[in-house]
Amino acid sequence: MCSHREAHSRWAERWWQLHRETQAILDQIEGRTNLVASTFDKICELLIELEYLDSSDQDLIVTDSGKMLARIYGERDLLVAEALRLKIWDNLDAPSLAAMAAALVYEPRRDDENFEPRAVKGNFQESFTKTQQLWDELEGLSKKYKLPRSSRLEMDLSYPIHRWATGAKLDLVLESADLLPGDFIRWCKQIIDLLEQLAKASEEPISAKARDAVDLVKRGIVAYSYYA
């Protein structure tokens, strides 16, 4: 009889436990890898349907629209690309384009659910409605391909940003936005980031309007925050 039987038994038990744990981790990694690959294939199918990718040859080819999409990043990149391609925002001036960018990036607090945002005058409402309809269509495609869904657009910050972009004083803008200065600056930076993407990814007239909108939003305390 082995004099180290109990020690060997404990090591064998430990080895089997580690083996089971390792196998469980490997199975988990394989499952996630398969999920990533499946999701990638579904995204490609959606982009082929929208003509951002061309599958006429054996290899996928990035179309001109796809190259434009590649210059846009963020959760709503496809919505932004489609809006640019369909020229939904061409009738917006620079302050209204900034307001649209606010609707695309802003995520309201839970306690803001009953908040009734003020409407931005001019062509904004028509463009926002078309953008929301476009979002509905893309959500339908996401459902078709079993891809993650996104949240609806929110106008809560659009009116305050429009006021800020047209030269309103900070205290009046903060009052209409119901935001602290730090939160307002944080959202403005996200809006500016999206506007800079629009300036690079789009053609005229949006490109020039986006550059103008950046200058209109990046003023006062917002501009100072970039150097503080």
Domains, the chain, ranges and CATH? 76-225 (1.10.3380.30)
The model's pTM = 0.83
Quote the pLDDT of residue 115.
Answer: 65
Q: Are 45 and 145 in contact (CB under 8 A)?
A: yes
β-pair partners for 53: 62
Please tell me the distance from the alpha carbon of residue 162 to that of residue 159, in angstroms, as a whole number: 5
The tens digit of pLDDT for each residue in 133-181 reads 999 999 999 999 888 888 999 999 999 999 999 999 999 999 999 999 9
pLDDT digits (tens, 9 = 90+) for 44-81: 898 999 999 998 777 889 999 999 999 999 889 999 99
Average pLDDT taken over every residue of the chain: 87
Angle, CA 153 vertex, CA 137 and CA 125 arms, to 5° = 90
pLDDT for position 15: 59
